[in-house]
Structure 1
Amino acid sequence: MNTTSRRRTVLAACVAALLAAPALGQGSFAKHKPITLIVPFSPGGGNDILARAVAPKMGQLLGQTIVIENKPGAGGNLGTELVARAEPDGYTLVIASSQVTMNPFLGMKVPFRIERDFEPVGLLASVPMVLVSHPEEPYKTLQEFLAYSRAHPGQLSYSSPGNGTPQHLAGEVFAKLNKTEMLHVPYRGTGLSITDLIAGQIQVSFATYASVAQHIQTGKVRALGIAGQKRTPLAPELPTFGDAGLKNYDASLWYSLLAPAKTPPEVVARLNEAMVQALNDPAVAKQLAQQGFEKQVSTPAELKSFIGTELKRWERVIADNHIKVSP
């Protein structure tokens, strides 16, 4: 064995020894260096809410501080790219939602490949997408909105957290299926998007239930329907777009945890274990349920397979509906 090979063997043995502890705790990571969890959107959106609910417990299980950093921009691509380029040591992670399987096919610049530049850690949760309107708009039900939007093509505006986000795509696919046109108004994050809806600057918005639940309850926005085929137990009275006749429409969101490519398998496994334990914690589970999330845990391998399936699905949907996003 030459000198280079011996060094590699010794290094591999050291890494394995560091990660060999069977239980989570202080032996998992170096105490002096916090884990950075990137949220690629502004505060207030689903990614952000989920991160802040799960990170404290996950950090406790790892014996490690987890620092959340919001890095919005480019439909989530800016913050996600930061993690793709980070050191693959488990100390930089990203909360990635459905948009990572949509963006490659929207005609926008995506500076990474999700299947090449990341190690899947696991699915976290899903959340229904809901169509909400300003309470003073003339349509009070989903059926009324469908009819109104068809009768007034190009006269309705809808907001989203940004170009290429799942909320944006939800609006574009809806307009195609409902044979109408709507003006898309992108914002830098969910908070600003909903703020202008409440102020009456925008007529409707596609948003995660988690991000608008409190505004629905206080009457600041009106919930019209669930942008999918499955009703949510959090608001069982809300009809789905399937109930209204759009049988092939589904814009529900999922969220996952990703690490940079080439992160050691032992580190990925340790992160997955902490993530699953955090999601199963009764206090965390209750908090997520109250905020509109449905737990969706998986192994790293299951998430990898799921991402592959979603890439194929959205490539087909986007091509069939001729959807492109301005750079």
Structure 2
Amino acid sequence: MTHCIGRRTALGLAGAALAAPALRAQGTAPLRIIVPFAAGGSTDAVARLASPGLTQRLGQPVVVENRSGAAGAIGTEAVAKAAPDGLTWLLTFDSHAVLPALLPNLSFNLMRDLDPVMLIGGAPYVIATRPDRPYRTLADLVVAAKARPEAVSYGSTGNGTIGHLTMMLLQSRTGTRMPHIAYRGGGLAVNDTIAGHVEVMIGSAALLAPHIAGGTLRAIAQFGPARLPALAQVQAAEEAGFAGLQAEAWWGVFAPAGTPAPLVARMNAALRESLSEERARRQMEEAQQARLVLSDPPALQAFLERQVEVWGGVVRANGIRAD
């Protein structure tokens, strides 16, 4: 962290005099926001929500480019190896923090090759079940899992995802063993939970909220720092006695390492203004169930380091590898 901040500080000092020429040199060249996942997911939705406001404020066309594959590593690598000229940016998801542990042979270094721009916000992971299942709280689930080892199954949106790792952490803290069913997408996991093929599932609040509101699923726990307004009756894990057990889907923006500080500051300000607009804020809070943060670059760096430490530790402790 010190090394990265030091580099950005040095760039800020050295680049201050170059700021105006650098911005003029960009002219109306399009900015690329690379989303390292397929179109249609939450990360893609956030990028496309922000892009009109960015175009307006930056005076340049903004193109959202989906480059999916390898749990987000392919698109992330493209940004890590791009020129640090302010024309290429990464908007990514919580799995970003797991990449070094999940894919140890990455051709780039998460900390050295990318500079932080903004933590946009987060939405808690939620455990949900069919309404006819007996689990109403996290304690109920733990008691059942202890009483019937290997019998209380759970689904997640994929092996090595933050949802999967949250359940692994929960099991290690409670001495339980719950079979894991990894799905290649949230919709499949939801369908099988509703059908009763798995006992519970874990997914982001954005994924599960419509089904909870519609009565086809019941939430039994949420993992944010506080209760979501939409799930005001559902305990957070910390309230249930699991201190420090937080897990949020989150969205962050990064730049190629060495991007001049004035360009990073310009993008940060444009993002903050764009996502603070009433329409965009409402969309984030309602469609994504997000708690907006809109941080500065150092706050994202500190947040990322904590995420890498926590979830990387879970991956290594359990020998988890990408599918």
TM-score (norm 1): 0.81
Aligned equivalents of 2:138 and 2:305: distance in 1? 33
Alignment correspondent of 2:292: 295
SS of alignment partner, residue 258 of structure 1? strand
Worse overlay, 130-139 or 213-222: 130-139
Aligned equivalents of 1:43 and 1:225: distance in 2? 29
Alignment correspondent of 2:234: 238
Aligned equivalents of 1:199 and 1:68: distance in 2? 36
1:229 Cα offset (Å): 4.9
> Residue 168 in 1 paired to residue 164 in 2?
yes
SS of alignment partner, residue 115 of structure 1? coil
> Counterparts in 2 of 1:162-241, with a 5 A limit?
162-241=158-237
> In structure 2, which of residues 243, 246, 255 is the aligned counterpart of residue 259 of structure 1?
255
* CA separation of 1:155 and 1:58: change in aligned 2, threshold 3 A: farther
> In structure 1, which of residues 40, 51, 55 is the aligned counterpart of residue 51 of structure 2?
55
> Residue 308 in 1 paired to residue 310 in 2?
no
Check whether the contact 1:84–1:117 (CA below 8 A) recurs between aligned residues: yes
Alignment correspondent of 1:67: 63
Aligned equivalents of 1:58 and 1:38: distance in 2? 14
Worse overlay, 302-311 or 176-185: 302-311
Check whether the contact 2:211–2:217 (CA below 8 A) recurs between aligned residues: yes
* CA separation of 1:35 and 1:78: change in aligned 2, threshold 3 A: same
* CA separation of 1:220 and 1:89: change in aligned 2, threshold 3 A: farther
Worse overlay, 133-142 or 120-129: 133-142
Aligned residues: 307
Root-mean-square deviation (CA), in Å?
Answer: 2.9
Alignment correspondent of 1:8: none
1:210 Cα offset (Å): 1.7
TM-score (norm 2): 0.82
Aligned equivalents of 1:273 and 1:48: distance in 2? 20
Aligned equivalents of 1:142 and 1:273: distance in 2? 40
Alignment correspondent of 2:7: none
> In structure 1, which of residues 317, 320, 324 is the aligned counterpart of residue 319 of structure 2?
324
Structure 2, unaligned runs of 5 or more: 1-14
Q: Deviation per CA, 1:119-178: give whole Å up to 9, x if none.
A: 111111111111122344342443322222222222233333333221221121112122
Check whether the contact 2:19–2:263 (CA below 8 A) recurs between aligned residues: no
Which residue type is aligned with residue 300 of structure 1? P
> Counterparts in 2 of 1:12-23, with a 5 A limit?
16-20=19-23
SS of alignment partner, residue 99 of structure 1? helix
Alignment correspondent of 2:277: 281
SS of alignment partner, residue 271 of structure 1? helix
* CA separation of 1:310 and 1:19: change in aligned 2, threshold 3 A: same
Which residue type is aligned with residue 323 of structure 1? N
Check whether the contact 1:45–1:189 (CA below 8 A) recurs between aligned residues: no
Worse overlay, 80-89 or 185-194: 185-194
Using the aligned pairs only, state the percent identity: 34
Aligned equivalents of 2:40 and 2:218: distance in 1? 18
Structure 1, unaligned runs of 5 or more: 1-11, 21-26
SS of alignment partner, residue 139 of structure 2? helix
SS of alignment partner, residue 85 of structure 2? coil
> Counterparts in 2 of 1:22-33, with a 5 A limit?
29-31=26-28, 33=29
Aligned equivalents of 1:200 and 1:42: distance in 2? 28
Check whether the contact 2:144–2:152 (CA below 8 A) recurs between aligned residues: no
Check whether the contact 2:165–2:311 (CA below 8 A) recurs between aligned residues: no
* CA separation of 1:303 and 1:242: change in aligned 2, threshold 3 A: closer
